[in-house]
Structures are given as structure tokens and as C-alpha cells.
Amino acid sequence: MTDTTTAVTRKENAPTKERKPRGEYAKSKETRTAILDAALEVFAQSGYRAGSLREVAERVGMSEAGLLHHFRSKSALLLALLDHRDDLSRSRVDFDMPDGVEALRALAELARFNADNPGIVELYCVLSAEATSPDHPAHEYFINRYEYVRSSVRGSFERAAAAGRLIDGVDPARAAVATIALMDGLQVQWLLDRTSTDMAEAMHECFRSLIRGYDLVGLENVLDVLDANSAATAGGPAVAASGTPRHSAGEATEDGA
């Protein structure tokens, strides 16, 4: 006869695997986000070297040991913060889109987003300067980041050139380097005096000098004029860029409108 009592007792007394409460993961994620936000403020204001983990921890109401539970070291916190910044940028600029001009336009608008988030601009300017030192934990990060951005912006200019949109004589590689230099320089001027420049508009103005019909509305107007001139030369009705015939104010359409 089988001893079912022993089997049941053994099953009831067997250790069960503890399941992490669902809310605990969400709480941990919120805590990490709060730490990153605090670190952004501290490192932007004091720099990475001067900014301390204790100050970051105090801003989120926890101990330094508690902070290290989420980020094992100060350098790990810094790299996570830089990754967080890059995620924000990538969500607004898609360098892989086929239309290179649209990618550049999005890059200019990123400057507007950054202007609404001064901590991000301060962090980037302070850390990029500090990271020129080879022993800085973000040194390799910034080397790789500049290489990636140069390549991405160059690709956008190359696609614009392939579409016949790039002004004659503009070299995509040199234009990419100049674009990044402009962005970095604008950020420094803006941080020193917020009224000195509109970073986004300055970027748009630069691209207007490099790309034909950079402004979509301006390009449509040019196409309308060209279509109208072609139609007038041919003796037919003016045709808009959309392909719809244009009618004079007093001319009736077929449906009487």
C-alpha cells in the first residue's frame, strides 16, 4: 500500500520559489529613473568628478548604499545616464529614414527639445569636456558617440545629395563635421546666455544654406511656380505640385463649384 500521507506531507513542506511581487519591479524601475534624473542634475551642475554619489542619493531620499544596490558604481551610473540621454535623442531623430533632409530637419528640432531640458545640455557640455581626458570613464563613450553621429549625419547629407537636394560643392563628410561643431558651439553659447540664440532656428538656417528647398513649404511654392510657368508656356491650365489643375477665381469647375 502506498504511503500517500508521507508524500502529501513532503509536498506541503517542500520549499516554494519566492515570486517577486509585480509591483516591486515597477517600483525598482521608478527608483532607477529617479536616480538617473538626480544624477543628471548633480553631474550637470558639478561635473562628474566633483559630483558625488552621496549627493545623488540624498536627492532621491536614500542612502548611498541603497543607491549602489541599483548602480554598482559611480561609473556605472554615469554610463547608464548617458545611455538614457541617447535613448531620448534616438526617439526623436531617426537617421535611418530614407529621406536625408527629413532626418536633418529632425536633428535641428532635437535642439529645440534640448532647450526645454537644460539639464541634458549642461550634462553633455560638462561631460564632453571632462571626457577628453583618457582616464575619464566616459572617454571611450564620447569617442564612439562622435564617430556614430558623424557617420549618421554624413549619411543623411549623402542621401540628400543623391536626391539632388544638396547645394553644389557641399561635401557630405565636411558638412557633417561642421553640423556637429555648430550644435556643440550653440549649446555653449546658449548655456552662458539663454537669450543669445535660438539653437533650433540656427540649425535650420544652416541647413537652408546647404540644401535646396529645405523648407517643405518653400519647396512646394517653387514647384507650383515651375508648374505654372510650364503650363503657361504649353498653353494649358496651371497645374499645382499635387497634379490638380488650378483655376482662376471666376472660372467654374465641372461640378459648378
Q: Which of 148, 154, 137 lies closest to 82 in space, CA to CA?
A: 137
Q: What pLDDT, on the 0 to 100 scale, is given for residue 244?
A: 43
* CB-neighbour burial class of residue 114 (10 A; exposed 0-12, middle 13-18, buried 19+): buried
Question: Across-strand partners of 211?
Answer: 166
Q: Which of 233, 235, 232, 212 lies closest to 222 in space, CA to CA?
A: 212
Q: What tens digit of pLDDT does each residue of 197-209 get?
A: 999 999 999 999 9
Rounded to the nearest integer, the mean pLDDT of the chain is 81
Place of cell 550634462: 123
As a whole number of angstroms, the distance between CA 177 and CA 208 comes to: 17
pLDDT band at residue 218 under the 50/70/90 scheme: very low
Q: What pLDDT, on the 0 to 100 scale, is given for residue 19?
A: 54
SS (H, E, C) 82-149: HHHHHHHHHCCCCCCCCCHHHHHHHHHHHHHHHHCCHHHHHHHHHHHHHCCCCCCCCHHHHHHHHHHH
